[in-house]
Amino acid sequence: MSSNNDIKTSKFLSLVLRHEPEAAGVTLDDAGWVDVDTLLAGCVAHGKLIDREQLERVVAGSDKQRFAFNEDRTRIRANQGHSVEVDLQYEPRTPPEILYHGTATRFLDSIRAQGLLKMERHHVHLSAETKVTTQVGERHGTPVLLVIRAQEMHRAGHTFFCSTNGVWLVDAVPVSYIEFPA
């Protein structure tokens, strides 16, 4: 992100496109898309002065590629992380042997007891890269990296999806497929 204003804009867009479309007075379609002009007008009407240039900059500058435009750049959506009901229409995919999940140490007791649950979101988020998952864990406290035996889960019948920005999605990760740090 190039400025504090862009960071604030990105956070607001995450709120609108993942959790509270009403914060900008918009409605997401079944797949999570909203018309760009409608979104921008809604943002302005709700006190968030965002123009097309800034929107383009925020989408391009998102380190996690949180948002996507459709092919003709007339619609936009969040790639994953929704708490509102959407069908992102991702096709099931075969995951790599191992995926990772970043969390904070304070959640380990719960994870050891219940596994990884999607909580208020549609899916548990996993990554093929350790750097991103460690950063996720840092947001919530002392980070810890969990190793997920994804290929083994897949062979046991768990369905995986991969978002357009490379985040792997699954409904839940049972404890038996998680390798905890020593």
* 50-81 pLDDT, tens digit each: 999 999 999 998 777 889 999 999 999 998 88
Q: Provide the 10 A C-beta neighbour count for residue 102.
A: 22
pLDDT digits (tens, 9 = 90+) for 12-65: 999 999 999 999 999 999 889 999 999 999 999 999 999 999 999 999 987 778
- One-letter amino acid at 146 equals L
Here the tokens at position 142 are 């002392």
For the full predicted model, state whether its pTM sits above 0.85: no
Q: In which residue are the tokens 């093929």 written?
A: 128
CATH 3.20.170.30 fits 92-179, yes or no: yes
CATH 2.40.50.100 fits 4-78, yes or no: no
Whether the Cβ atoms of residue 149 and residue 98 lie closer than 8 Å to each other: yes
- Domain ranges (residues) in the chain: 4-78, 92-179
Burial group, residue 44, by CB count within 10 angstroms (0-12, 13-18, 19+): middle
